[in-house]
Amino acid sequence: MSKSLIPFDSQKHHIYLEFGIIDAKGVDRYGLGILDTGAPQTEFSDIFLSHIGFLTTDLSLNIVPPGQETKKYRKVKLPIVNICGYQFKDSEFIVSRFERSWGIDALIGLDWIYLENAKLP
């Protein structure tokens, strides 16, 4: 069984992870996410997905409700996503609006761990 080492700064409040999405032109687009151990599935920022060309909806319609920090509102199928050395091909992810002050492009859920466990004999 392979193991992934995920370096992180123990002085910071969150574990930040870089991820990659290969866009329609074959360009690897990188983003920064927070490892969210309470999330079963990874969520990508609608602003990030729009910026790299995977989302064409009117972003002004999706406002985070008062008192909340995120708003999940749809799913999107992405061709290739790389997270922590694992690759997702043609997989479905949640699209969310995050509180802008977070400054992140994704909440990395535990789906990449489930993917690795599914490969075990």
Q: Which residue type, as a one-letter code, is found at position 58?
A: D
The CATH number of the domain where 69 resides is what?
2.40.70
Residue 4 lies in a domain: no
Residue 41 lies in a domain: yes
Task: Show contacts of 58-67: CB within 8 Å, 24+ apart.
Answer: 59/97, 62/97, 63/97, 64/97, 64/98, 64/99
pLDDT digits (tens, 9 = 90+) for 47-103: 999 999 998 877 777 777 777 778 888 899 999 999 888 888 999 999 998 888 889
pLDDT digits (tens, 9 = 90+) for 22-31: 987 889 999 9
- Please give the pLDDT value at position 68: 74
> Per-residue pLDDT for 120 more than 50?
no
Range of the domain at 108: 16-119
If one counts the domains in the chain, the total is 1
> Per-residue pLDDT for 6 more than 70?
no
Residue 1 lies in a domain: no
CB 29 within 8 A of CB 6: no
Report pTM.
Answer: 0.82
Residue 36 lies in a domain: yes
Evaluate the CA torsion angle 89, 93, 96, 100 in order and state its sign: negative
